[in-house]
Chains A and B, each alone.
Chain A
Amino acid sequence: MPGFLLRRLAASLLLLFLVLTVTFFLLRLAPGDPVGLSESSRLTAEERADQRRIYGLDRPLPVQYAIWLSAVALHFDWGTSLAYQRPVNRLIAEALPATLLLASAALVVEYGLGLLLGVAAARRPDSALDHLIRILSLLVTSQPVFWFGLMAILVFALAWPVVPAGHLRSVDAADLAAGRRALDLLYHLALPALVLGVHGCGAIARVARGSLLEVLGRDAITAARARGLSERRVLWVHALRNAVVPLIQLFALSATALLSGSFVTEVVFSWPGIGLLTFTALSARDYPLVLATTALAAVLAIAGNLAADVAHAVADPRVRDA
């Protein structure tokens, strides 16, 4: 097992390096230039040349790559954002907590709700409840996230205003006491987290249902029932423990899904997270910022895959020896 893990870890690091390098050069291939996207009509060649020099864009590309790579590898310095003229590290550090908060809250909703619904459906297969749950879970997954978000805002922030229409905090949140401030945060978190969570719970519910049904049909379960164990014990202790494995794999892969889902949600809700940052960075050709957010997303994806593979290997010994 440790050998397997070490090999995969080494491979993951290599992968990360590859992804970043390709991203670096791919970005330059795309048309568009950070210098010259100004809204001023007075920008002339002289200013552009100055800015190119200041941003280090006038050097040959391999030299720029070497400079950037050494800064990242040696000092973990991801450079200065071209659009904001602020350190990228700080921009990411400011944005990350918001995304993590949203993603965790959404995950809790997604898995909590998904498991509950999946179990409820699996307990009484083919019943009216089962069909209802299956239809509902289909319904929520079948819409684009941004659509879901916009509808939610329309209904719950405008038509029947129970929650604010976006942002992380109220305008005057800084003046509130710590307890009230936390409540204000929750208040603003509610809608985006619910939107993301409810949207994803459909898939979880279906997987949970399918997996649970499959496990419930096994001999081991029949045997447990024969031994006289209560249905509740059978379900929650024995069956669920086995049924949870595909969910673990899904969970690991959800990291990337959640990141890209929250990306769209952040734009709709003006949530100051990594998704919003990336989106604006891409449009502005803000190379250092794009590279840093790409690295973040890549790390998440690679880590997610790694975790999924580890979970699979733990569950299926044949794989780890392959």
Chain B
Amino acid sequence: MPSLGVPSGTVHPRLTANRRVLPGALRGGIALVGLLLATAVAAPLLAPQDPIEQVDPAVAQGRPPGTSLPEIHLRDGRRLLADRVARLPEGLVAERLGRSESFPAAAVANLTAGGVGDRRRFLLGSDRFGRDVLSRILYGARVSLAIGIFAVSLALTLGIAVGALAALGGSLLDALLMRLVDALLAFPSFFLVIALSALFHSGTVAVVLILAATSWMETSRLARAEIQSLKRRDFILAARATGEGPVAIFFRHLLPNALTPLLVQAALLVGSLILAESSLSFLGLGIQPPTPSWGNMVADGRDLLVTAWWMSTFPGAALALTVIAFNLLADGVRDLLDPRSRGGLPFSPPAL
């Protein structure tokens, strides 16, 4: 999908499976994607803190990775953080915001002999509101992955539908649909995205719809090409000769065979749409705060790259890792189907 800076998927030789051994790329890809999905699902269990709650933002903001701050629980319900606490006979003295504040022992709920019993740790640092970057990355996985997967599913469904209709519906329908696809492809995607964001309320649903709307066209072209070449094949002609209905032929023969390169493209598309969401956030139009998505975390920290690099770098790394994972998966699937010079094949590829 040539949109927002990421080149589209690639041209695939179309083939059937060669199930000798699962190539390394595929294994790596499956493992990584699986790990990411598991992390996303398990985020509430893994995340040390709530990703949205702001606890004493003025003190906790902008802390480098590895910071650990004492956390004072007051009896009136407030929770405060401090740079340092010291225990006095009458209570507690805490250094925060460049001042010393003292608290009588009666007011502090988690008083211990040495200070207070709780600490707040920021393994990967804290963001501008003192929220834990690690927790936000874990929860952000849910958002980013969900967006990628949903948007791609939508794009895939729409693309296959339009592509199949074009390939099977006669030359007039084909011409009409493909011109429509061309027209939509001709729209500069950034303009479309901004116009659509302006027209619809920005939010998760809108982002998914916009991303799907700007990427189904490539899928439809690929689907059309696949089905067009498949429909002339002997086994399809045979199926028609035996009187199978067109719908049955489509779902039982055409689609399964056309699906593999489409799935490869889909896997690549997940990666590129997750990246596109981050570009949307860069322009201020992505997932709305306070919901964390890797994209808006990178965008949030971009003004502070010089002074607080961790706010953008870690989500950026998570982004990259995810895209790599999906690309590996796509590569692996393609390797699985790729005709290598070694090893025989039931079909030879059409001359390009």
Contact = CB atoms under 8 A, between A and B. Distances in A.
Interface of A: 11, 15-16, 18-19, 22-23, 26-27, 29-32, 134, 138-139, 141-147, 150, 154, 158, 199-200, 203, 206-207, 210-211, 213-214, 216-218, 221-222, 242, 245-246, 249-250, 253-254, 256-257, 259-261, 263-265, 278-279, 282, 290, 293-294, 297-298, 301-302, 305, 315-316, 322
Contact of B279 (A146, A154, A203): A146
Contact of A150 (B7, B305, B321): B305
A216 B342 CA distance: 11
7 contacts: A150-B305, A158-B306, A203-B7, A203-B10, A214-B13, A253-B8, A256-B185
B190 interface: yes
A222 B194 CA distance: 52
A150 B305 CA distance: 8
A145 B5 contact: yes
Interface string B321-338: 111100110010010001
A141 B6 contact: yes
A282 B285 CA distance: 13
Nearest to B276: A144
A142 B2 contact: no
B255 interface: no
Contacts of A302: 182, 186
B220 interface: no
Contact of A257 (B2, B187, B199, B323): B2
B191 A210 contact: no
A146 B275 CA distance: 10
Nearest to A262: B5
B183 A278 contact: no
A265 B190 CA distance: 13
Contacts of B263: none
Interface stretch (B34-42, B99-107, B123-131, B312-320): B312-320
Nearest to A218: B341
B96 interface: no
B328 A138 contact: yes
B278 interface: yes
A256 B186 CA distance: 9
Contact of A142 (B185, B190, B275, B349): B275
Interface string B275-316: 100110011000000000001001000100110010010001
Contact of B195 (A30, A203, A211, A242): A30
B7 A260 contact: no
Contact of B183 (A18, A242, A264): A18
Nearest to A200: B7
A30 B334 CA distance: 42
A311 B10 CA distance: 15
Contacts of A154: 305-306, 309
A301 B319 contact: no
A297 B188 CA distance: 6
Please give me the 7 A-B residue pairs with the lowest Cβ-Cβ distance, nearest first: A217-B341, A142-B323, A297-B188, A261-B5, A257-B2, A145-B5, A246-B11
B248 interface: no
A301 B341 contact: no
A143 B309 CA distance: 16
Nearest to A154: B305
A138 B188 contact: no
B261 interface: no
A158 B295 CA distance: 24
Of B5, B25, B302, most buried by chain A (CB within 10 Å of CB) is B5
B8 A257 contact: yes
A321 to B, nearest CB: 12
Nearest to A12: B182
A269 to B, nearest CB: 14
A139 B278 CA distance: 16
B190 to A, nearest CB: 6
B247 interface: no
B352 interface: yes
A28 to B, nearest CB: 11
B302 A150 contact: yes
Contacts of B182: 11, 15, 302, 305
Contacts of B10: 203, 206-207, 210, 246, 250
Given A142-B319, A293-B188, 9 more contacts: A15-B182, A15-B183, A19-B186, A144-B298, A213-B338, A254-B7, A264-B282, A278-B188, A294-B191
A250 B187 CA distance: 18
A278 B352 contact: no
B232 to A, nearest CB: 9
A293 B194 CA distance: 14
A143 B188 contact: no
Contact of A139 (B11, B183, B189, B324): B324
A197 B2 CA distance: 15
B4 A264 contact: yes
Contacts of B320: 139, 142-143
A98 to B, nearest CB: 17
A134 B25 CA distance: 10
A206 B327 CA distance: 11
B252 interface: no
A322 B341 CA distance: 31
Interface in B156-201: 179, 182-183, 185-191, 194-195, 198-199
Nearest to B313: A151
Contacts of B350: 316
A116 to B, nearest CB: 18
B140 interface: no
B281 to A, nearest CB: 9
